[in-house]
Amino acid sequence: MPDAAIGLNAVIVAVTEEVPRILTVRREPPAGGPAEDALPFGPLEPETDRTLDRGLRRWVREQTGLELGYVEQLYTFGDRNRDPRESHGGPRLVSVAYLALVREVSVSGDARWRDWYEFFPWEDWREGRPAVLDRAIAPTLERWAAGATEQRGRLERRERAEIVFGLGGVGWDGERVLERYEILYEAGLVPESRRDLIQRGEKENLHSESSEPPLGRPMSLDHRRILATALGRLRGKLKYRPVVFELLPPTFTLLQLQRVVEALSGVGLHKQNFRRLVENAGLVEGTGRQDAETGGRPAELFVFRREVLRERPAPGVGLPGVRRG
Amino acid sequence: MPDAAIGLNAVIVAVTEEVPRILTVRREPPAGGPAEDALPFGPLEPETDRTLDRGLRRWVREQTGLELGYVEQLYTFGDRNRDPRESHGGPRLVSVAYLALVREVSVSGDARWRDWYEFFPWEDWREGRPAVLDRAIAPTLERWAAGATEQRGRLERRERAEIVFGLGGVGWDGERVLERYEILYEAGLVPESRRDLIQRGEKENLHSESSEPPLGRPMSLDHRRILATALGRLRGKLKYRPVVFELLPPTFTLLQLQRVVEALSGVGLHKQNFRRLVENAGLVEGTGRQDAETGGRPAELFVFRREVLRERPAPGVGLPGVRRG
DNA sequence: TCAGATATGCTCAGAATGAGCATAGGAGAT
DNA sequence: ATCTCCTATGCTCATTCTGAGCATATCTGA
């Protein structure tokens, strides 16, 4: 079998101060130039790593000092030329990406935590519909659709943009993070589009659809695609498995819980209905103790009820009462 | 980087005559012996296959003559010794598994279609709770739990079995197919447990927990795990994406649609409520034409309404009205 | 023309959801 | 003390969604 190498990528997520953060490292682009943000990456050691996720835990520990708890496989990325070094004789690079949820926030090395909405500003609807959607994205996508070579292609692009960005009457689907990123990439709205075209020497395709500055903070290689996959997957999983609790301290107030769910799902929730849902679902249990708090009536501290796993087939936090106004 | 090889596995699904079927091939076990069922498998050609799924489509076409339509990546399997030849100097074998949904059923070569409930008899609840659960599985799992070395381990095993098989008050979660298979494997209830122990030369661990005949038809290597992953994933996806239509002819009756959903989800549904759901969701559109049928009032023929993708963020068939009696 | 089989319509109670109003219990200012 | 400002928590109410049935329509074959 010809040359192929297997790597492992980690999307390590924590939520602190209502900000969802991911762990990034700095990395020189293969073509040279200033360092970019990248997801932590490590090789699989076929001889010693019994399973893929053990391999992942091993090198995350070695590189950042972090001991991972909850870990879940995300997706395997294997397109040709994900890494431009392939065109210069490098092996085909296949990366298995993992999602990890952690509580603590102390890291070593060149690792640092970044707000993941820096990478996807259009995904944060907590303060309402992000202005960038109507200001920059919608008009540029319209131009992109109009620029397709055939009638059919124009219709397809327009429909795709409408569905994925919820532009027509369609609602916004928080889980379609990757599809949105991919459209923006194709439409030349993110810095990576331009970078990759130059890297592949296809300068003739550099007809930027937009006069807008490119959107969001770029990442090395295809790492922003991996990150988009992670965000979408996590948003989906929240609804039917109690994964949020991996991100919370053992004891928390209901508002803290709500803030973490909101940070991840990117929408604001109706407070009373959120509590009702969480309590009726049997996900939490009051401890009787109260929070040291921050002004206002003290909040009760809760813990996660592990028993819920035995009582319900698919307990999740769901997204009740998305705030309208 | 040391030796590793990348392979691609396909779980190809079709539903005909209310039976969900998967495409299998016959394959000699690496250790010799009679041929076993296996999932179609092919290598990735790093030089020529631009993406993983193109590679998959390529060799599926070459091997079976089937042209795949809907294809989705499932999971990447990379545990050491998935393939026992690794212990005799073979490379570490990492397989990326894909799920494909097709309509037609004509295949060539040694490929054949098999009812997937032959592999997972306990997953088919269409005629009510499968007898094998109470007759064989529950008691053997109880013995397996009791056989753990420590108190703690006994509790953990028991809880796990209860949650995953819905044995206590817990409901049955149709999506946990893999977790169930893995427990059965650990408990020595499937033929593969024994086979793999012998293959690894760990005959001392052959304390079968059960006097029962092993459950379900075995598959080569870890292919039944891959299949379980596919079934679970497909059951989940049904609920929020209109994937069933990939398995149906362009025009169909609501009962045909219902039968396919039931075949996959493994539960019987309340007919009237099912129609209500499907119609209210705007998933289908009547054509005015009627079915050639099979006795009884003729049924109207429907088509999938593609527009639904524009109207709703997450249209799926869901599982309304699971029949109680 | 009747029995048997499906298709399709409709009803109704109960549960879940979306939105608010109202009260409770703290901290700090006056 | 008392008032103001917060946040926590409780409760209500209209609406929609679900689970279960009953009833009627329209075929085929005896």
**Mean pLDDT, 10 residues at a time, over chain B (325 residues)?**
82 95 90 90 93 96 91 97 85 95 81 95 93 93 93 94 87 94 95 88 66 85 97 95 95 95 94 94 92 82 93 76 49
| Contact: B310, A6; criterion CB under 8 Å | no
Strand D atom within 7 Å of B32 CB: no
Residues with Cβ within 8 Å of residue A19, at least 6 apart in sequence? A115, A117, A263
D19 C1': nearest CA residue:
B321
Residues with Cβ within 8 Å of residue A213, at least 6 apart in sequence? none
Token pair, residue B228, equals 């379980």
**Residues A14-36: pLDDT tens digits?**
999 999 999 999 998 877 889 99
Chain A closest CA to B180's CA: distance in Å? 13
Residue of B nearest to A73 (CA): B75
Task: Give the CA B159 to C1' C12 distance in Å.
Answer: 40
- Give start and end residues of each alpha helix (H) in chain B: 52-64, 131-132, 138-146, 151-165, 177-186, 191-199, 223-240, 254-265, 271-280, 308-311
> Backbone phi, then psi, for A21, in 5-degree steps?
-125, 150
3-state secondary structure of B269: strand
| pTM, full prediction | 0.93
Instruction: Provide the percentage of residues in chain A whose pLDDT is more than 90.
Output: 69
* pLDDT confidence bin for A320, thresholds 50/70/90: low
Instruction: Provide the percentage of residues in chain A whose pLDDT is more than 70.
Output: 94
Under DSSP, the state recorded for A137 is I
Say how far apart CA B125 and CA B130 lie, in whole Å.
6
Say how far apart CA B320 and CA A201 lie, in whole Å.
53
**Residues A113-152: pLDDT tens digits?**
999 999 999 999 998 899 999 999 999 999 999 999 999 9
Nucleotides of C under 7 A from a protein CB: 4-11, 16-21, 24-27
List CB contacts (< 8 A) between A79 and chain B.
50-52
pLDDT score of A187 more than 80: yes
How many CA atoms are closer than 13 Å to the CA of A72, on its beta-carbon side? Answer: 15
**Residues A31-85: pLDDT tens digits?**
788 999 999 999 999 989 999 999 999 999 998 889 999 999 999 999 998 888 8
Strand D atom within 7 Å of A287 CB: no
Strand C atom within 7 Å of A289 CB: no
CA angle, A229 as apex, A205 and B315 as ends, to 5°? 100
Please, are residues A165 and A133 in contact by the beta-carbon 8 Å criterion?
A: yes
